[in-house]
Every structure is written in C-alpha cells, then in structure tokens.
Amino acid sequence: MVNLTINGTTHAVDADPDMPLLWAIRDLLNLTGTKYGCGIAACGACTVHLDGQPVRSCQTPVSEASGKAVTTIEGVGGQVAEAVQAAWIKLDVPQCGYCQSGQIMSAIGLLAENRRPTDADIDAAMSGNLCRCATYQRIRGAVKEAAKTLGA
C-alpha cells in the first residue's frame, strides 16, 4: 500500500512501489486528464506536478511520489493556472487536444517560477512536450499571454 496525495486528497493505493505514477493516477484513481503518450518521458503528455515541479508521470514511480503533493490537470488552480487556462482558450491553442494537459502543466510550472519568460525560457520549459498538430506558435503565444495577464 502506498499513500499518495493527489490534488489535495490522500489515497491509500494498492500498487507496487515501482508502478509508474501515471498508472496509479489513471487506472487506480480514475483521473484520466493526464494522458499516456509514449511511456518513456519523451512526449510530455503525462506531465503532472510533484511538489510544484513538472515531472513525467510515466517514468516517476509511485514510491517517489509518496509523501509529496501530486497535482494533475484536474487539480490545478490559482492565479497562474487560471491565467494559463484563459490564454489557452483565448488563443484557441488546441487542435486535437491530446497533448494539452501536459502542455498546460508545463506552462503553469514555468510561469509559477518565471513570470517574465523569454522565448528561450519558454522553449526550454516546454521542450519535451510534443504536439502532433504542431501548435507550438499558439502555445508560445498563450504562455506569453498568460504572463501578460499575470502582470509580467
């Protein structure tokens, strides 16, 4: 049994300590906003926050998440998250939408740390988040729009 605190709620999860956090989130807790993309931490679709930092949940064992705060796309909130979500809607970022929960989680992680990101900062923070529809310019624009909303 592993205790996981996800979106502010502690869950006793019957999982092998080496199980990827992604499977615990999706299959055991039925929080399906976090997506499976590649399984090797190369696409970013599975990005969640672990103690406020973006991580790839497909390669993070539940044992590493035990005792830490896990936030999924379902649990984001606050000024930064609201600014990012509003910018995503305003600029109509998603096309198919599959990668967007991971993209949003990475953008929130960036803007929580850096309210005035340069293009290079955005590229670095968002690298590893693949978008099959290639909406990268809209994603960058939305990050900049959210930063502007936050007063940067």
pLDDT of residue 152: 64
Neighbouring residues of 150: CB distance < 8 A, sequence distance ≥ 6? 79, 80, 83, 111, 115
CATH topology of domain 79-149: DNA polymerase; domain 1 (1.10.150)
Q: Are 88 and 104 in contact (CB under 8 A)?
A: yes
Q: In the structure encoding, which two tokens stand for residue 35, read together?
A: 């997506």
What average pLDDT does range 132-149 have in this prediction? 96
Contact present, 102 and 47 (Cβ < 8 Å): yes
**Tens digit of each residue's pLDDT (9 = 90 or more) over 82-91:** 999 999 999 9
Q: What is the pLDDT of residue 71?
A: 98
CB contact at 8 A, 130 and 46: no
> Any idea where the domains of the chain sit in the sequence?
2-75, 79-149
Q: 2-75: which CATH architecture?
A: Roll (3.10)
Residue 136 pLDDT more than 70?
Answer: yes
Q: Which run of H or E residues covers position 146?
A: helix 136-149
